[in-house]
Amino acid sequence: MRFAAAFLITSRLYSQTITVEAPPRTLPAHVAAKLSPADFELFTKLTQVGLEAAWAAVTQEGYPLCFINELTPLNTDRRMVGRARTVRYLPNRKDLRDKIYSAGPQLNYRSAEEAQPGDVLVFDAGGETHSTISGAMVTTRFLMRGGAGIVVDGCMRDVPDLAAMPASFYLKCGHASSVSPLMMSVDYQVPVRIGGVTVMPGDFLVGERHGVLVIPASIVDKVLEKAIEHDEQEDFQRTLLLQGEPVYGVYPTLNEANKKKFEEFKKRKK
Amino acid sequence: MRFAAAFLITSRLYSQTITVEAPPRTLPAHVAAKLSPADFELFTKLTQVGLEAAWAAVTQEGYPLCFINELTPLNTDRRMVGRARTVRYLPNRKDLRDKIYSAGPQLNYRSAEEAQPGDVLVFDAGGETHSTISGAMVTTRFLMRGGAGIVVDGCMRDVPDLAAMPASFYLKCGHASSVSPLMMSVDYQVPVRIGGVTVMPGDFLVGERHGVLVIPASIVDKVLEKAIEHDEQEDFQRTLLLQGEPVYGVYPTLNEANKKKFEEFKKRKK
Amino acid sequence: MRFAAAFLITSRLYSQTITVEAPPRTLPAHVAAKLSPADFELFTKLTQVGLEAAWAAVTQEGYPLCFINELTPLNTDRRMVGRARTVRYLPNRKDLRDKIYSAGPQLNYRSAEEAQPGDVLVFDAGGETHSTISGAMVTTRFLMRGGAGIVVDGCMRDVPDLAAMPASFYLKCGHASSVSPLMMSVDYQVPVRIGGVTVMPGDFLVGERHGVLVIPASIVDKVLEKAIEHDEQEDFQRTLLLQGEPVYGVYPTLNEANKKKFEEFKKRKK
Amino acid sequence: MRFAAAFLITSRLYSQTITVEAPPRTLPAHVAAKLSPADFELFTKLTQVGLEAAWAAVTQEGYPLCFINELTPLNTDRRMVGRARTVRYLPNRKDLRDKIYSAGPQLNYRSAEEAQPGDVLVFDAGGETHSTISGAMVTTRFLMRGGAGIVVDGCMRDVPDLAAMPASFYLKCGHASSVSPLMMSVDYQVPVRIGGVTVMPGDFLVGERHGVLVIPASIVDKVLEKAIEHDEQEDFQRTLLLQGEPVYGVYPTLNEANKKKFEEFKKRKK
Amino acid sequence: MRFAAAFLITSRLYSQTITVEAPPRTLPAHVAAKLSPADFELFTKLTQVGLEAAWAAVTQEGYPLCFINELTPLNTDRRMVGRARTVRYLPNRKDLRDKIYSAGPQLNYRSAEEAQPGDVLVFDAGGETHSTISGAMVTTRFLMRGGAGIVVDGCMRDVPDLAAMPASFYLKCGHASSVSPLMMSVDYQVPVRIGGVTVMPGDFLVGERHGVLVIPASIVDKVLEKAIEHDEQEDFQRTLLLQGEPVYGVYPTLNEANKKKFEEFKKRKK
Amino acid sequence: MRFAAAFLITSRLYSQTITVEAPPRTLPAHVAAKLSPADFELFTKLTQVGLEAAWAAVTQEGYPLCFINELTPLNTDRRMVGRARTVRYLPNRKDLRDKIYSAGPQLNYRSAEEAQPGDVLVFDAGGETHSTISGAMVTTRFLMRGGAGIVVDGCMRDVPDLAAMPASFYLKCGHASSVSPLMMSVDYQVPVRIGGVTVMPGDFLVGERHGVLVIPASIVDKVLEKAIEHDEQEDFQRTLLLQGEPVYGVYPTLNEANKKKFEEFKKRKK
Q: What confidence tens digit (pLDDT) does each residue in D226-243 have?
A: 999 999 999 999 999 999
Buried/exposed code over B52-88 (b: 16+ C-beta within 10 A; e: otherwise): bbbbbbbbebebbbbbbbbbebbbeebbbbbbbbbbb
Mean pLDDT value across residues C212-235: 97
- Which chain E residues have a beta carbon less than 8 Å from that of F248? 105, 109, 113
Buried/exposed code over C139-163 (b: 16+ C-beta within 10 A; e: otherwise): bbbbbbbbbbbbbbbbbbbbbbbbb
Q: Which residue of F has its CA nearest to E33?
A: F12
Task: Return the pLDDT at D219.
Answer: 98
Nearest-by-Cβ selection for E52 from D135, D166, D231? D135
For testing contact with chain F, the best of E139, E161, E206, E237 (most F CBs within 10 A): E161
Secondary structure class of B215 (helix, strand, coil)? strand
Mean pLDDT value across residues C235-253: 96
Within chain C, how many helices (H) and strands (E) appear? 10, 13
Mean pLDDT value across residues A13-25: 80
Position A12 pLDDT exceeds 60: no
Task: Return the pLDDT at B3.
Answer: 40
Task: Return the pLDDT at D270.
Answer: 72
Task: Tell if the CB–CB gap between F160 and D18 is shorter than 8 Å.
Answer: no
**Could you write out the DSSP letters of every residue in D127-146?**
T-SSSBS--HHHHHHHHHTT
Task: Return the pLDDT at B36.
Answer: 97
- Other Cβ atoms within 10 Å of D257 Cβ, number: 9
Position E173 pLDDT exceeds 70: yes
- Which chain B residues have a beta carbon less than 8 Å from that of C237? none
Nearest-by-Cβ selection for A11 from B26, B112, B173? B26
Give Cα separations from F18 to C229, D67, E78, F209 (angstroms): 61, 44, 16, 22
Task: Tell if the CB–CB gap between E137 and F69 is shorter than 8 Å.
Answer: no
Please tell me which chains touch B, using 3 or more CB pairs under 8 Å as the contact test.
A, C, D
* Confidence label for B9 from pLDDT (cuts 50, 70 and 90): very low
Tell me, rounded to whole angstroms, the distance of Cα E11 from its chain centroid.
38
Task: Return the pLDDT at C270.
Answer: 72
Task: Return the pLDDT at F16.
Answer: 57
Mean residue pLDDT across chain A: 93
Distance from the Cα of D239 to chain B's closest Cα (Å) equals: 37
- Which chain A residues have a beta carbon less than 8 Å from that of F62? 94
Q: Which residue of E has its CA nearest to F3?
A: E48
On whether any CB of chain F is under 8 Å from the CB of D10, the answer is no
Euclidean distance between CA atoms D215 and D63, whole angstroms: 9
On whether any CB of chain F is under 8 Å from the CB of A200, the answer is yes
Task: Return the pLDDT at F6.
Answer: 38
- Which chain C residues have a beta carbon less than 8 Å from that of B20? 136, 139-140, 143, 161, 164-165
Using a threshold of 3 CB pairs under 8 A, tell whether chains E and A touch: no
Tell me, rounded to whole angstroms, the distance of Cα E8 from its chain centroid.
43
Which residue from C66, C26, C23 is spatially nearest to C223, judged by alpha carbons?
C66
Give Cα separations from B20 to C139, C164, E29 (angstroms): 9, 6, 63
Least confident of B12-26, C212-226, C249-263, F178-192: B12-26
pLDDT in tens, D248-262: 999 999 999 999 999
Position A150 pLDDT exceeds 80: yes
Task: Return the pLDDT at F270.
Answer: 72
Q: pLDDT above 90 covers what percent of chain E?
A: 90
CB-based contacts of A215-222 (< 8 A; 24+ apart in sequence): A215/A54, A215/A58, A215/A66, A216/A58, A216/A63, A216/F93, A216/F95, A217/A83, A218/F95, A219/A58, A219/A61, A219/A63, A220/A42, A220/A46, A222/A57, A222/A61
Task: Tell if the CB–CB gap between F232 and D208 is shorter than 8 Å.
Answer: no
Q: Which residue of A has its CA nearest to F191?
A: A90
Which residue from A123, A122, A121 is spatially nearest to A133, judged by alpha carbons?
A123
Count residue pairs from D and E with Cβ separation < 8 A: 134
**Could you write out the DSSP letters of every residue in A28-48?**
-HHHHTTS-HHHHHHHHHHHH
Position B14 pLDDT exceeds 70: no
Using CA atoms of E191, E193, E198, E200 in order, give the dihedral in degrees to the nearest 10: -30
Which residue from C206, C166, C205 is spatially nearest to B11, judged by alpha carbons?
C166
pLDDT in tens, C107-153: 999 999 999 999 999 999 999 999 999 999 999 999 999 999 999 99
For testing contact with chain F, the best of D47, D52, D63 (most F CBs within 10 A): D52
Euclidean distance between CA atoms A258 and A250, whole angstroms: 7
- Which chain A residues have a beta carbon less than 8 Å from that of C56? 178
Mean pLDDT value across residues A120-126: 98
Task: Return the pLDDT at D16.
Answer: 57
Higher-pLDDT residue of F81 and F266 is: F81
- Which chain B residues have a beta carbon less than 8 Å from that of A160? none
Mean pLDDT value across residues F93-107: 95
Mean residue pLDDT across chain B: 93
- Which chain B residues have a beta carbon less than 8 Å from that of D186? 191
Alpha helices in chain A (DSSP H): 5-10, 29-32, 37-48, 51-60, 94-103, 107-114, 136-144, 159-164, 220-242, 256-269
Task: Return the pLDDT at C269.
Answer: 77
Euclidean distance between CA atoms D129 and D171, whole angstroms: 10
pLDDT in tens, B38-68: 999 999 999 999 999 999 999 999 999 999 9
Task: Tell if the CB–CB gap between D126 and B193 is shorter than 8 Å.
Answer: yes
Mean pLDDT value across residues D29-42: 97
Task: Tell if the CB–CB gap between F242 and E144 is shorter than 8 Å.
Answer: yes
- Which chain C residues have a beta carbon less than 8 Å from that of E62? 94
- Helix A136-144 to helix C220-242 angle (10° resolution) is 10
**Widest distance between CA atoms in chain B:** 75
How big is chain E by its Cα radius of gyration, in Å?
22
Nearest-by-Cβ selection for D29 from E8, E11, E69? E11
Task: Return the pLDDT at D17.
Answer: 77
Which residue from C212, C52, C229 is spatially nearest to A138, judged by alpha carbons?
C52
Distance from the Cα of A123 to chain F's closest Cα (Å) equals: 15
Task: Return the pLDDT at F113.
Answer: 97
Q: Which residue of A has its CA nearest to F198?
A: A91
Buried/exposed code over A4-24 (b: 16+ C-beta within 10 A; e: otherwise): eeebeeebeebeeebebebee
On whether any CB of chain B is under 8 Å from the CB of D218, the answer is yes
Q: Which residue of B has its CA nearest to A240?
A: B141
Mean pLDDT value across residues B196-218: 98
Answer left, alpha or beta for residue F62, where phi above 0 means left and psi between -120 and 50 means alpha. left
Higher-pLDDT residue of D6 and C44 is: C44
Distance from the Cα of F115 to chain E's closest Cα (Å) equals: 28
Mean residue pLDDT across chain D: 93
pLDDT in tens, E125-161: 999 999 999 999 999 999 999 999 999 999 999 999 9
Nearest-by-Cβ selection for E193 from C91, C198, C216? C91
Mean pLDDT value across residues F38-61: 98
Euclidean distance between CA atoms C67 and C60, whole angstroms: 13
Task: Return the pLDDT at F180.
Answer: 85
User: Using an 8 Å Cβ cutoff, are F56 and E178 in contact?
Assistant: yes
Please tell me which chains touch F, using 3 or more CB pairs under 8 Å as the contact test.
A, D, E
Buried/exposed code over D38-73 (b: 16+ C-beta within 10 A; e: otherwise): ebbebbbbbbbbbbbbbbbbbbebebbbbbbbbbeb
pLDDT in tens, B76-93: 999 999 999 999 999 999
Least confident of A137-141, A231-235, A266-270, F121-125: A266-270
Distance from the Cα of E22 to chain F's closest Cα (Å) equals: 12
* Confidence label for C211 from pLDDT (cuts 50, 70 and 90): very high
Task: Tell if the CB–CB gap between B63 and D218 is shorter than 8 Å.
Answer: no
For testing contact with chain C, the best of B25, B46, B52, B243 (most C CBs within 10 A): B52
User: Using an 8 Å Cβ cutoff, are F223 and F153 in contact?
Assistant: no
Position B24 pLDDT exceeds 80: yes
Q: Which residue of D has its CA nearest to E195?
A: D130
Nearest-by-Cβ selection for A198 from F64, F91, F193? F91
pLDDT in tens, E213-265: 999 999 999 999 999 999 999 999 999 999 999 999 999 999 999 999 999 98
Position F227 pLDDT exceeds 90: yes
Task: Tell if the CB–CB gap between C218 and E91 is shorter than 8 Å.
Answer: no
Nearest-by-Cβ selection for D166 from E19, E22, E51? E19
Which residue from D182, A4, D76, F30 is spatially nearest to B45, judged by alpha carbons?
A4
On whether any CB of chain E is under 8 Å from the CB of D182, the answer is no
User: Structure pTM?
Assistant: 0.95
Distance from the Cα of C16 to chain E's closest Cα (Å) equals: 47
Task: Tell if the CB–CB gap between D16 and F27 is shorter than 8 Å.
Answer: no
On whether any CB of chain E is under 8 Å from the CB of C65, the answer is yes
Position E4 pLDDT exceeds 90: no
Task: Tell if the CB–CB gap between B191 and D92 is shorter than 8 Å.
Answer: no
Tell me, rounded to whole angstroms, the distance of Cα C198 from its chain centroid.
15
**Could you write out the DSSP letters of every residue in E50-111?**
-HHHHHHHHHHTT----EE-SSEES-SS--EEEEEEEEEEEE--HHHHHHHHHHSS-HHHHH
On whether any CB of chain A is under 8 Å from the CB of C2, the answer is yes
* Confidence label for A181 from pLDDT (cuts 50, 70 and 90): confident
- Which chain A residues have a beta carbon less than 8 Å from that of F181? 64
* Confidence label for F12 from pLDDT (cuts 50, 70 and 90): very low
Eight-state DSSP code of residue B116: P
